[in-house]
């Protein structure tokens, strides 16, 4: 299937895809702040430039879009109908990079949690999960 946009239009559209300060990320940050947690954002000194870093607790929270990071068994992680080979390789590469980043952070002594975009539909449950992750020594994936 052929792309319906010109290369310039595709480039402009892809440039609009945000990598930080996304709506899901801002929702998680507001939730954590309302729970009394203070954090740092996008620490470039750490592998993967984590979305949310709680340095005193050695905890990291990634906020992932279900599509871009291939959330397993999620309706939001559907595969595009066009350019399947390109998107399959691109999205699989994102998933593999996420795994390498988490492993590197764990080797450095950090605990890592991932919040998926679809989990924002149940904020009370997400709040309980994040509190349990932050307050305990347990790893949350």
Q: What does the alpha-carbon distance between residue 74 and residue 118 come to, in Å, rounded to a whole number? A: 8
pTM (two decimals)? 0.84
Q: In angstroms, what is the C-alpha Rg of the chain?
A: 16
pLDDT of residue 99: 95
pLDDT band at 136 (very low <50, low <70, confident <90, very high): confident
Band of residue 79 on the pLDDT scale cut at 50, 70, 90: confident
Which 3 state secondary structure label does DSSP give 40?
A: strand
Topology of domain 7-135, per CATH?
Endonuclease; Chain A (3.40.960)
**Given 3-state DSSP classes, what are the helix, strand and coil percentages for the chain, each rounded to the nearest 5?**
50, 10, 35
Where do the structural domains in the chain lie, given as residue ranges?
7-135
Instruction: Tell me what pLDDT residue 130 has.
Output: 96
Q: Are 25 and 119 in contact (CB under 8 A)?
A: no
pLDDT score recorded for residue 8: 86
Q: Calculate mean pLDDT across residues 115-130.
A: 96
Interatomic CA distance for residues 65 and 68, integer angstroms = 5
Specify the pLDDT at position 1: 56
Q: Is 24's pLDDT higher than 90?
A: yes
């Amino acid at each position: 299937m052929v792309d319906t946009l010109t290369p310039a239009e595709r480039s402009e559209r892809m440039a609009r895809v945000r990598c930080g300060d996304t709506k899901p990320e801002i929702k998680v940050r507001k939730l954590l702040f309302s729970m009394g947690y203070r954090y740092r954002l996008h620490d470039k000194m750490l592998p993967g430039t984590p979305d949310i870093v709680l340095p005193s607790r050695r905890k990291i929270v990634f906020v992932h879009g279900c599509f871009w990071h291939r959330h397993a068994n999620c309706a939001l992680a559907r595969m595009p109908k066009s350019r399947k080979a390109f998107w399959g390789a691109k999205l699989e590469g994102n998933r593999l990079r996420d795994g390498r980043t988490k492993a590197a952070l764990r080797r450095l002594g950090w605990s890592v949690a991932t919040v998926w975009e679809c989990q924002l539909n149940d904020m009370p449950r997400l709040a309980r999960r994040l509190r349990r992750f932050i307050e305990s020594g347990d790893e949350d994936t």
